[in-house]
Structure 1
Amino acid sequence: MSYRPIPRKSTLPAALYTAAQVREMDRLSIERYGIPGEELMERAGQAAFELLRQCWPDARRVLVLTGTGNNGGDGFVVARLALQAGLQVTVMQLGDRQRIAGDAKTNALRYAALSGDWRPFEKSLPGDMDLIVDAVFGTGLERNVEGRWAEALRSVNAMRVPVLALDIPSGLHSDTGKILGTAVQADATISFIGLKQGTFTADGPGCCGEVYFDALDVPAQVYASQILSARRLDWQRQKQLLPPRPRTAHKGRFGHVLVVGGDRGYGGAARLCAEAALRAGAGLVSLATRPEHVSAVLAARPEIMVHGVESPADLQAPAQSATVVALGPGLGKADWGRALWRKLIDTELPLIVDADALNLLAESPRSHDNRVLTPHPGEAARLLRCTVDEINANRFKAVERLQRRYGGVAVLKGAGTLVLDGGNRPTAVCTDGNPGMASGGMGDVLTGVIAGLMAQGRDLAHAAELGVCLHAAAADKAARAGERGLLASDLMSHIWRLANPDNE
């Protein structure tokens, strides 16, 4: 059964919430604004069923896997509507049906009144289905899925049948995006009332598939009652921050990036960073690297001003004219890299710190507000002196700890890259990007893009957010030729085009 993504009338909302916040908005809708819970459940089921018909118009045999809570109640609405539309429907129940209560019970009985097939899950799922609707766990799940429940979710994933998840895939933590033991791998997820922040980071993107949203027509005042827990970033919004350049522009107006890195054997990392800064629009880019790399860089990209440096003293000339420093790509942790790191880590120039410059910072921690840190989870674990598993268990908490400990702007890379500054804005989550970015050099390109945007006068936080989205969007463009085998250098032409959105 093929999946047919439907065009959205508008982009997803930027606002992200925790599960507790969405539950509070649900409560306010019922108690303060007089929308019966039964009506909200009906709206959710109706929205899910309409999405089902649009995405899988050929589906005739539908399996709805339900739990005993309100998420299961949404599933019973979908099952009833599907049955009334003439589809062949089977509901498989997880948990004791006697425990179903309230609005969920009302909708379960409505389905049963139509003589709908409703049976307990025992050991396996029927193998002749066109589509599965996951309505087992909602946003309240806090502990690992075990026993028969886990067996059922694994059975869903083992079937070669498309899956629509209601609100959030069962087994996924809605606040952290972490899989709680096991989780449904959905093809599409429809989220209700408020988008859940865990949908877009950690394991969330791998479990949710394409994400859709329905506000269920709750009043706007409901949203005004909550402060965002996080913000969703995407290129469609961010590109509006790149207006055309004035006709009187000159290179001195767009800053001078100094990239420092490229120990022996790692010259490519520094070169990628420098070229990315140019493609993102920096007026001038200098590269301070090992002398043996100078000829190769100049031959490949003569627009980069390359300086062979043997010691910190050799940095004096290139640093004098720089407006932004990018420290770390290919730097290494040998004596050469350590000496350059000590020279520049406390600079008063805007500084972006990546790769081994982060690892050296982990050895000698210090805080500074005029820099951007761009760790992946392994580097973040070293910076926070914890394990990678602890980072991935709650990426939102991890990026908060990074920013508090080291100051400035923290960018925690990975699926659903997070960006957090020291101001009052909630954490930003980038929802662009793809698995093809899991290759060497991608982080070096990101560092260059952010540095190039900083050089053009953007403050650190906005340069980081815009840079993360520009980098991810370029990777999405490049991945149209295939995710497997995508190279960091494949992004360069796309960065150039995307940095000029009027020409797209």
Structure 2
Amino acid sequence: MRELYTPDQVARLDQAAIRAGIAGEVLMDRAGRRLWQEIRQRWPGAGRLAVVCGGGNNGGDGYVVARLAGRAGLAVEVLYLVPPERLSGDAARHAQRYLDGGGICRPFEPEALDGVDVIVDALLGTGLDRPVSGAFAEAVTAVNATPAPVASVDIPSGIHGRTGAEMGVAVRAQLTATFVARKSGLFTGRGPACTGAVVFDDLGTATWTAGAELPHAWQATPADVGALLPPRPRDAHKGQQGHVLVVGGDRGMAGAVRLAAEAAGRSGAGLVSVATRPEHVPAVVGPCPAVMAHGIDRAEELAPLLSRASVVALGPGLGQGAWGRAMWAACRDVARPRVVDADGLNLLAADGRPLADAVLTPHPGEAARLLGADWDTTAIAADRFAAVRELASGWQAVALLKGAGTLVDDGRARYLASAGTPGMASGGMGDVLTGVVAGLWAQCPGADRARMAAVAAHVHGRAGERAAAALGGERGLLASDLLGWLPAVLAEGEAAA
């Protein structure tokens, strides 16, 4: 797992490196140099650069980029929101070095961006804690209206460094170079929509900051897939890989259980069963004959299926009618691990009692119903980390909050899965995720459940990326397109471990 930190934590890490003997002025120079190197590599034909600077260290990094670009022969202007004479400390020293070298520096005007090849966003740093307003908001709007690509220093201006929320307005960058430690807000909420490609450089501080702060969250990586699912022994058999039972599929919703069931199988579960409406059995078995589909009319018919299952996936296509409520009641207190999604979550919200031994997988709308009157989707977007922690604590379960930068929390540790593509904004994707979580859980019954769920979210997102690449585009991606890519993603994880 990759460590993620809050801006306050990174500030303390920065100070620890300075106390260890790395001068702040040196760290600022290293940050500016790294961003300049990335700009040169990505846009080698750029001849005119505009560096939009605010105050503080973020602006200081921008002056370093401007000085280096000018030295390389580019036409460079610093467009400031805070005059250089009002800067202090390391930022003031680097601004003066730029000016002493003949650098051009003038107040920001939107017209000054006309015809530039690259814009450097050095307006607002990771310490932002209130909505962007006034001249800064106007500058962000002007940057976004310019066709030139944008490279942001540390974080796109206007993105909250901890939560990833957009603070009124935010720069939409094509590149973000972040330093010392990775900030959690880059990878969830609006962060992924604004960062572009994210590159990281610890600026040589790792030796002095290792272990100084407990990470705010942990980010799933391909290597974590292999760590959770090592290669199988040559004598493995299906009985050792778990048995997933998917319960759902009221009338008209056979596709949901079929997607979840096949995803569980493609994720490696040894056996997969489905309990659904009798008329849906052919629709499930036809495209996926390895699934054992059972037509269920009455809740008591579930008992033998539940007794054989190692994990129950409850909710895909379940509905909230009489049949769905009966299935929910039969599974509510069964002594089995459960992955709960869709109408299973809505019925849980109506039930009101905590659900132990479960992974809950809500999207923000479902999460708002589970969280109650004090939360709505706007409040959840403002602080996804707080929302997922409240879900886990309130329902005494592992909570997986879907969205860009999926979050997982068990009340103790936080995890983040950043893999995925906008093409996954289509129906049925949550059913596939439910199946992947259940499939991995069935194979790894003793694993840390929150960590396992984060790995499952990574696998799901990575399968979406692979499917979109194979299709040649993101629009038109269907949930079923992910299924065939799940084994390849799992193999990718084995190779990375």
Q: Same fold (TM over 0.5)?
A: yes
The answer to whether the aligner puts 1:392 opposite 2:381 as a matched pair is yes
Q: Which runs of 5+ in 2 are unaligned?
A: none
Give, in whole Å, the separation in 2 of the partners of 1:43 and 1:499: 37
| Greater Cα offset, 245-254 or 382-391 | 245-254
Deviation sequence 1:266-301 (CA, Å, 0-9, x none): 110011101111111111111001111012222222
Is the CA contact 1:256–1:323 (under 8 Å) kept in the aligned structure 2? Answer: yes
Q: In the alignment, what sits opposite 1:351?
A: 338
DSSP-derived class of the 2:286 partner: helix
Instruction: Give the alignment partner of residue 43 of structure 1, picking from 27, 30, 33.
Output: 30
Q: Which amino acid letter does the alignment assign opposite residue 496 of structure 1? A: P
Instruction: Give the alignment partner of residue 309 of structure 2, picking from 299, 315, 322.
Output: 322
Instruction: Give the alignment partner of residue 252 of structure 2, picking from 249, 261, 265.
Output: 265
DSSP-derived class of the 2:461 partner: helix
DSSP-derived class of the 1:390 partner: helix
DSSP-derived class of the 1:64 partner: strand
How far off its partner does 1:178 sit? Answer: 0.5
Q: Which amino acid letter does the alignment assign opposite residue 20 of structure 1? A: D
Give, in whole Å, the separation in 2 of the partners of 1:248 and 1:341: 37
TM-score (structure 1 length as normaliser): 0.94
Give, in whole Å, the separation in 1 of the partners of 2:423 and 2:37: 32
Instruction: Give the alignment partner of residue 324 of structure 2, picking from 337, 349, 352.
Output: 337
What is the count of residue pairs matched by the alignment? 489
How far off its partner does 1:61 sit? Answer: 0.5
Give, in whole Å, the separation in 2 of the partners of 1:213 and 1:500: 26
The answer to whether the aligner puts 1:472 opposite 2:477 as a matched pair is no
Q: In the alignment, what sits opposite 1:147?
A: 134
Q: In the alignment, what sits opposite 2:122?
A: 135
DSSP-derived class of the 2:205 partner: coil
| Greater Cα offset, 181-190 or 47-56 | 47-56
Q: Which amino acid letter does the alignment assign opposite residue 490 of structure 1? A: D
Give, in whole Å, the separation in 2 of the partners of 1:238 and 1:63: 42
Q: Which amino acid letter does the alignment assign opposite residue 410 of structure 1? A: A
How far off its partner does 1:234 sit? Answer: 2.2
How far off its partner does 1:461 sit? Answer: 2.6
DSSP-derived class of the 2:339 partner: strand
1:276-287 alignment, distance < 5 Å:
276-287=263-274
TM-score (structure 2 length as normaliser): 0.96
The answer to whether the aligner puts 1:117 opposite 2:104 as a matched pair is yes
How far off its partner does 1:51 sit? Answer: 1.4
Instruction: Give the alignment partner of residue 47 of structure 2, picking from 60, 63, 67.
Output: 60
Q: In the alignment, what sits opposite 2:217?
A: 230
Give the RMSD, CA atoms, in angstroms: 1.5
Is the CA contact 1:235–1:432 (under 8 Å) kept in the aligned structure 2? Answer: no
Instruction: Give the alignment partner of residue 393 of structure 2, picking from 404, 425, 428.
Output: 404
Give, in whole Å, the separation in 1 of the partners of 2:490 and 2:48: 47
Give, in whole Å, the separation in 1 of the partners of 2:495 and 2:224: 16
Percent identity of the aligned residues? 51
Give, in whole Å, the separation in 2 of the partners of 1:379 and 1:74: 42
How far off its partner does 1:243 sit? Answer: 2.2
Is the CA contact 2:84–2:95 (under 8 Å) kept in the aligned structure 1? Answer: no
Closer, same or farther: CA 236–163 of 1 in aligned 2, 3 Å: farther
How far off its partner does 1:497 sit? Answer: 2.4
Q: In the alignment, what sits opposite 1:485?
A: 476
Q: In the alignment, what sits opposite 1:5?
A: none
Instruction: Give the alignment partner of residue 382 of structure 1, picking from 369, 390, 413.
Output: 369
Q: Which amino acid letter does the alignment assign opposite residue 13 of structure 2? A: M
Q: In the alignment, what sits opposite 2:407?
A: 418
Instruction: Give the alignment partner of residue 429 of structure 1, picking from 416, 433, 453.
Output: 416
Q: Which amino acid letter does the alignment assign opposite residue 454 of structure 2? A: E
Q: Which runs of 5+ in 1 are unaligned?
A: 1-12
Q: In the alignment, what sits opposite 2:6?
A: 18
DSSP-derived class of the 1:379 partner: helix
Q: Which amino acid letter does the alignment assign opposite residue 173 of structure 2? A: A
How far off its partner does 1:421 sit? Answer: 2.0
The answer to whether the aligner puts 1:454 opposite 2:445 as a matched pair is no
Closer, same or farther: CA 410–156 of 1 in aligned 2, 3 Å: same
Q: In the alignment, what sits opposite 2:486?
A: 495
